[in-house]
Every structure is written in structure tokens, then in C-alpha cells.
Amino acid sequence: MKTVHLALGILTLGFFVVAIGGCQTDTPGVKDTLGTYSAMVNAAPDKVTNAAAASVKDMKLMDVVSNSTKIDGKVTAKTAQNDVVTIKVEQAGDNVSKVTIRVGTTGDEAVSKQILDRIKQNL
């Protein structure tokens, strides 16, 4: 009887952790519960990072800083309202990169989509 209660308790705890934790997928154009917009892009991380930097410059964002390697990259910038824009690029396979975009503290899906579209145009 104690074993059954223990098993039920563990099972319930497992469902609770999954429900609280939420899910994040690598499906293109997915916004997670924390305001980060992510997508997969068919290009190497260094090329995606260069395209991301060019994209935020095209959009006239301020204080653009860009760093990249062959396996990852990061671009930061600021909007006119002084919201920080962070674009992270990670290698996800051969010539495939995962791009995560965060605008401000809570995320802005519309601006994130604009940035992602510009990145794809600049590749």
C-alpha cells in the first residue's frame, strides 16, 4: 500500500513539474513563456550572427555589439525606448543555427519577428 502511495506521489510530482516548467520547442517562430522568440535558420552561426548585426543596424537600433565564432554568436542592441535586444545564435547541426531573440524584459513578439525576417533577408 505504501508503495502505491509513493508511486502515485512521484507520478503526481512529475506532472506538476512538467506543467510548471512549460515547454520550449525549436520550431521556427516559437515564443516561449518567458518572452524569448526562437527559430531555426539554415546557415552557419557566424553567418547568422553577421546577418543579425546587419539587421538591427538596418532597423536603426542603437549601441550594436556583435561577437561570433564558428559555433555560436551574440548580438546586443538597444531600442529608442532603451529596451535591450539580445540575439543569441547557437549551432544546431550542419549549416543550421538556432536563433533566440529577446526584446526588453518581457519580450516583444512583433519586433522579434521583424528582426528574424530581416536576418533571413540578409543571409
Fold held by 25-122: TATA-Binding Protein (3.30.310)
Torsion angles phi and psi, residue 35, rounded to 5 = 90, 10
Per-residue model confidence as pLDDT tens digits over 70-96? 999 999 999 999 999 999 999 999 999
Q: What pLDDT band is residue 35 in, cutting at 50, 70 and 90?
A: confident
- Confirm if 70 and 50 have CB atoms less than 8 A apart: no
Question: Strand 30-31 to strand 37-41: parallel, antiparallel, or no bridges (unpaired)?
Answer: antiparallel
Query: How much is the pTM?
Result: 0.73
Query: What residue spans define the domains of the chain?
Result: 25-122
Q: Given pLDDT bands bounded at 50, 70 and 90, which one contains residue 122?
A: very high
- How far CA 93 is from CA of 42, 59, 96, in Å, comes to 9, 29, 5
Cell numbers 535586444 correspond to what residue?
Answer: 85
Q: Which residue has the cell 519586433?
A: 111
